[in-house]
Structure formats: structure tokens, C-alpha cells
Structure 1
Amino acid sequence: MRLGPTGHARARTSVVVAVLVAFCATLLTAGSADAAERRKDGLTGYAFDARCAPTQEQMDAWLTSSPFWGVGVYIGGSTLSCRPTPTDPGQPHLDATWVAAQRAHGWRVLPIWVGPQASCQTGYGDLITPDPTGAYAAADAQGRAEASAAVARAGELGLPSRTTLWYDLEGGFDVANDDCRRSALRFLSGWTSQLHALGFRSGVYSSVSAGIHALDNADNLSPGSYEMPDQVWYAWYNGRATADIDPQWVRGSTWAGQRIHQYEAHVPALYGGVLLTIDRNYLELDGGSQPPRSFLGCGRTRLDFGSYPRLRTGSRGPRVAALQCLLRKGARYHSKLDGRYDRDVVRAVTRFQRRHDLRPTGKADRATWTVLFSAGSTPLMKVGSAGESALRLQRALRAAGARAVKATGVVNVRTTTAVSRLQRRVGLDPTGVVTPETWAALQAGEG
């Protein structure tokens, strides 16, 4: 994350009075607050964040050319750097219409709030109160007040309840400083408690060796003393796009399936002709992308094989049964799934080939298999896309000759690598993003 210089952060007046008022106002509701429910739309894949939210035109260009499904967006806070200045417009386009447009296109919007920083940090004009009175009650109240402000802003942007709101607590502070660490933990606990009370989920961004380490260590050594965030976003610049975490600082099981790993910072990235300077992230949220429940077709018919050879009259076996199953949907084949390539199968294959402008041989060749598997809707797909469409894509690619692709039901790097190779062969920009044009190539039997 990239925060603004000290001059851009405005210290608040009468901070102790304000946070104590906020603390008192939330005591009645915080005790019975439940953690926000687990979302069903799990996602494993890539995300990016820039200093300011990109414009709609930039988002549209990256939608069909970049590997990202997640976008981090700074929505407010006293230490936010993305503010309008005489030479910088900030992000005036960030409103409910912008958020709705990204969500409609399939983006996972990651709203970030950046307010007071750890009390022993230097260079920030707004800091967490380190006063230990009342078990750091002032810091707790600050966190609750920030959560209330973030929820209000989320409402203005049209973000629904149960959305995770991320608090940006920059790393680099001294976790050995007791008052600094404990006040930060109490602040984040107040943030989480208030978000839960208001129907949102809590996320915390920080360095793996600072804020995230402090949270995990406190949960391990003093469980229940602080309310833990639902998800974490950690800076660990090892250049590896995984959701693994450094066991030197955080237990391997902590927040499993609920992590974002920021693995590269402040790097230029060019997609769709649009250049942005971004942080690169890899995420696994809500348990990650989930495959379909069943991989069988027509009830109990196996569809996945190591290869899809040419079949003809007289062929027998499970691959023929798979072909018959696919023909039921694609060519109105109504005979038994008996694994025998007979006259009914020949007729159905020929009918299917004519309908899809393939050579009507009546033989199931590579192009026929590819079209049978890819037939259907043409959604935009990237790493992390999952479900029946992911299965169709992977099976079609394998039928077209991409032996390295396995039908997992979740688009992974192997899948997008095969997509890039296909795109290059058919004259498309080899982005690895499955566009309607890519589907059209598969549905024409190309590849």
C-alpha cells in the first residue's frame, strides 16, 4: 500500500474526547455482535491495487486483458493519499455507479480504509492513542469510530452488508514496543467489533512481520483478548503469487482460505494498452474458488480422459459413452449410452457437424470433440473462474490437444497458459483471458 506524506494526513482535534465518546456509544452493541457470515462466492486468483481507483475506461481495458479479478480501492480515512490537489484529481469517478459497474463485470472490489497509524510510527499526522488506561480504551474507541466512518462511506458507494472492509495499518512499526503494539491491537479489535455490529466483515492489511504477526501472536498467546479480523492482507515481497504465509511470523493454519498476499509492490503493469503502477496480490478468500460438485455427465457418465482420440463406426468403450452423453445435449441423441459407435451415433455426429460447419464425416475427430465440449455460454474467464463453464473450457482445451490441462473445474495457470497458446495460434492477443473471441475459436473447432 502507498500512503501519502505527512503533509497530506490531517491530525484530528480533541482526539481523546472524540474517541471516548465513540467508545461509550458503541459499548451496548459490541458485546453481542456476531462475526459476519461466510460468503459463498469464494475466489482464488490475482488482484491489484493502485494509488487511486482506475477510471472506468482503464478498468474496462484491464477486464479483458489482465489476469486480475480483484481490485483494491481506497475509500477513505485520514491518512488516505488519494486526495484531490491542484495537480492531482484524485479519484472523483469513485462513486456508487463506479462500484456497481465493476461488480456487474465480475470484479471483486476490495474497499480499503486508511486512518490512524501505529503510535510509534513516524511520518504520519494521525496516530493511534497509546494511552493504556482502561486496557487501551481510547485506542479501542478510535477503531470503532473508524469502522463507523468506513461503513458510512461503504453505504455511499453502494457496497452491501457482509462486505469485508479492509483497514490499512502500515508495517514498519516496532512490535517490541508494548504500548505501540497493544494499542494497535486494541484499535484493530475495536475496528473488527464495530464492523461486525454493523453487519460488515473485518479485514486488516499490514506487513506480515508487523501488524499481521502481532495479531496472530496475540491470538496464539492470549486467545479471546482481542477480536480477530475475518481476513488478512499481508505484505510479504517474495515475488511468489501464492496464498502461503511466512511461518517465521504467522502460523500456517491461521486465516487459511481467508488471505491476500501482496507479493510485489509499486511495479508498472501494461494491459490492454493501459499502463498503471500497482501492487500485485494473490488472494484466496472465502475458502477459494470451488469446483462443481459433480464431474460426471448424464447422471453417471465419465467425461474426463487423458486423450480424446478419433472415433468411428465400430469403436467401443467409455469414450464412446462420453461422446453419446455429449450428443444428447448437442445433437438430440436419444439412444442408449452403451459405449457402442453404431449408426445412431454416426447420424448424430453428422448432424452435429453440419450444424457447426464442420466436415460431416460422421467420425468424432479432434475438432468435433472440441466443439462438443465448448458449446454453450461464453463467459469471460481468468485464473479463479470456476464452475461448469470452467469444466467446459478445460475439457475443450484438452480435446484440442492441450494435454497439460486437467479438468479441475477451477481455471488455473495451466489453463490460462493453454489459452494463451490457443489465442496465439488463431491470431488473437495471447492474454490468457478467455474472451468471447476465444470461445468462438473453440466453438469453431480451432486450436
Structure 2
Amino acid sequence: MGSTKRIIRRSLLFPTVLLTALLGLLATLLAPAAGAEPERSWPRGPNVFQGWAFDTCKAPPLSTLQAWKETKYRGIGIYFGGRGRACPTQPNLSADWVRSADRAGWRMLPLYVGSQAPCVVNKNKRKVTIRGNAEQVGASEGQDAVQRAKALGIAPGSALYLDMEAYSLRNTSCTSKTLGYIRAWNRETRRMGYVPGFYSSADSGVRHMERARQAGARDLPSVMWFARWHSKPNLYGEPELSRQAWRPHLRIHQYAGNVAESHGGRRLIIDRNQVDAPVAVIQ
């Protein structure tokens, strides 16, 4: 009789234990994971480009792009806006230039050089650091980036890359303010239908974003463009980024900078990039 009671108790307990285990598993699956990937809410499918790209301070004449057509490069970074641009005057960059370059088969990576970190390393950038409320500045400059992109025919669904030059990670007040600016810029561009990307040096801004991701921060960049010069192209072996983060198709490696190349009789000073990431959608 006693053994019969034990069997009955076990029979009654088994469904309860099973249900508890299933509910626990469901809660684990539905809970947001720490260090989860940044948001990827894209209104329309972005154009993903896989290949080689260069960026240069000023958008070159279309004749230069034609002369470079037989090179390995099929992508080009264009500095389309921001108070921190090294080349604020862009005599060639216009909506017509963008459309013509797109029709010629060039994939564009739009770069916005806005306000810089208060602890920026480059002395020339210290006159354009974040002033006032970082979140308000970031949101305002995010709106400016979208307006400038639209004026060039760069449509929603495009990636826009915020260029944040190298800065010190030792100054916690500076990094906090910089992160607030970046997150606000991302929120605003994302809200207006664009894909926020981020460019910085691997050992400063990119390391900072990875730490923020691991800490569970929201509103981080959707795409990571990291500069590590004097190295072989390596999209998914960057030591400052988790191998599982910012993938698939969410990375650009700038592996060389300020190098001279000549093709078809046209010479440019460029940075070299390997790309597996969203580019501009041209209207």
C-alpha cells in the first residue's frame, strides 16, 4: 500500500515539474539577453554590399570614378555632412553626382562627421566637440544627417555612418557624454527610417561600443565600421569586437589609411576598406 501511494505521488508531481521546467525555458527564451544585438528595424531592405571600397576627403569628379572603374573598388565613402568634416567644401557632391555614380555601379557609404567627443585625440577636432546637452545635440545632428541625405537622393533604408574620431576611454565623464550623443543620433536616424552605422578607431570608439553592448545598452549602432590600419583585411577577426556581435553583413574594416593610388591616370589619397554591410539606397 505504501509503495502504491509513492507511485501516485510521483505521478502527480511529474506534470507539475514538467510544466515548471517548460515555463522556465519559455521565460528564458523570451527575456532580452544581456549584450543583445542593437536594433535592426529597417523600413525597407537595405542594399548590402560585399567587396572593396575606398573613402577620400572630397568626392572625386565622375571622370575619376570612370577612370577607376576597372579597379577592385566598387564602393566609395562620401563625407556628406557634419560640422566636423575635414573637407566641408564638396564641389562635386550633389544629387546628380550621387545618381550618376550609382548608375555607374558604385555603392556609396555616406559618412556624417558631427560633433566629436570632448576627449578627442586629434587637436584639429577639439573645436567641434559636443557642447551642451549631449542627447539634444545628438538628436539635432541626427535630424541634420537625414535632411542632408535626403537632399542628395539617399533614401530611407540607407545606412548613414556617424564618424567619431579617436577619443580617450579613461575619462568616464567624456565617454558618458559621447555615448549619450551617439545613442541619441542613432535613435533619431533610426526613427526617420535610416540604418545608423558607426565609424571609429578599433581601440577607442569601437571598443567603447562593444563595452556598451556587453553592458546591455540600448540604441547602439546597427553597423560597425572599425579602423585598424597596417593590418590585413579581417572583418570578423577584430579583437575589440565579439565574434558574434554585429553580424551578419554589419561590418566594415578600414585596414589602411592616407595611401596614394593612381588608376587610369587619376591619383587619389584614400583609405582602404573591406565591406560586408548596408550602403546607400539611391532614389
TM-score band w.r.t. shorter chain: 0.7 to 0.9
The alpha-carbon deviation at position 245 of structure 1 amounts to 3.8
For 2:172, the equivalent position in structure 1 comes to 178
The alpha-carbon deviation at position 250 of structure 1 amounts to 1.7
Unaligned runs of 5+ in 1: 1-32, 84-89, 132-137, 287-447
8 Å CA contact 1:75, 1:111 repeated in 2: yes
Q: What is the correspondence of 1:46-85 to structure 2 with a 5 Å cutoff?
A: 46-63=52-69, 65-83=70-88
The alpha-carbon deviation at position 38 of structure 1 amounts to 6.7
SS at match of 1:212: helix
> Aligned partners of 2:114, 2:202: CA distance in 1, in Å?
19
The alpha-carbon deviation at position 76 of structure 1 amounts to 1.4
8 Å CA contact 2:85, 2:114 repeated in 1: yes
Deviation string, structure 1 residues 359-415 (Cα, Å, up to 9, x no partner): xxxxxxxxxxxxxxxxxxxxxxxxxxxxxxxxxxxxxxxxxxxxxxxxxxxxxxxxx
For 2:110, the equivalent position in structure 1 comes to 111
Distance 1:109 1:236, change over 3 A: same
- Alignment match of 2:49 (pick from 36, 43, 50): 43
The alpha-carbon deviation at position 285 of structure 1 amounts to 1.4
- Alignment match of 2:242 (pick from 246, 251, 260): 251
Amino acid across the alignment from 2:104: H
For 2:27, the equivalent position in structure 1 comes to none
The alpha-carbon deviation at position 60 of structure 1 amounts to 1.1
The alpha-carbon deviation at position 35 of structure 1 amounts to 2.6
Amino acid across the alignment from 1:91: Q
- Alignment match of 1:212 (pick from 206, 209, 212): 206
> Aligned partners of 2:186, 2:177: CA distance in 1, in Å?
14
8 Å CA contact 1:175, 1:210 repeated in 2: yes
- Alignment match of 1:196 (pick from 165, 190, 198): 190
> Aligned partners of 2:214, 2:44: CA distance in 1, in Å?
22
- Alignment match of 1:125 (pick from 117, 127, 130): 127
8 Å CA contact 2:43, 2:156 repeated in 1: no
Percent sequence identity over aligned pairs: 31
Distance 1:36 1:99, change over 3 A: same
Q: Is 1:169 the equivalent of 2:164?
A: yes
The alpha-carbon deviation at position 117 of structure 1 amounts to 0.7
8 Å CA contact 1:242, 1:283 repeated in 2: no
**Larger Cα-atom Rg:** 1
SS at match of 1:263: strand
> Aligned partners of 1:40, 1:72: CA distance in 2, in Å?
16
> Aligned partners of 1:153, 1:265: CA distance in 2, in Å?
26
SS at match of 2:147: helix
> Aligned partners of 2:237, 2:180: CA distance in 1, in Å?
23
- Structure with a larger share of its residues in strand: 2
Moved more, 152-161 or 119-128: 119-128
Amino acid across the alignment from 1:78: R
Normalising by the residue count of structure 1, what TM-score does the alignment of the two structures yield? Answer: 0.51
> Aligned partners of 2:47, 2:85: CA distance in 1, in Å?
29
For 2:36, the equivalent position in structure 1 comes to none
> Aligned partners of 1:92, 1:238: CA distance in 2, in Å?
31
Normalising by the residue count of structure 2, what TM-score does the alignment of the two structures yield? Answer: 0.79
For 2:19, the equivalent position in structure 1 comes to none
The alpha-carbon deviation at position 128 of structure 1 amounts to 1.7
8 Å CA contact 1:66, 1:272 repeated in 2: no
Q: Is 1:233 the equivalent of 2:225?
A: yes
> Aligned partners of 1:270, 1:143: CA distance in 2, in Å?
38
> Aligned partners of 2:111, 2:212: CA distance in 1, in Å?
23
> Aligned partners of 1:195, 1:40: CA distance in 2, in Å?
14
The alpha-carbon deviation at position 176 of structure 1 amounts to 2.0
> Aligned partners of 1:165, 1:114: CA distance in 2, in Å?
11
Higher relative contact order (CA 8 A, sep 6+): 2
The alpha-carbon deviation at position 199 of structure 1 amounts to 0.8
Distance 1:105 1:118, change over 3 A: same
Deviation string, structure 1 residues 66-119 (Cα, Å, up to 9, x no partner): 111110001111111213xxxxxx421210000001111221111111121111
SS at match of 1:128: coil
Cα RMSD (Å) of the superposition? 1.9
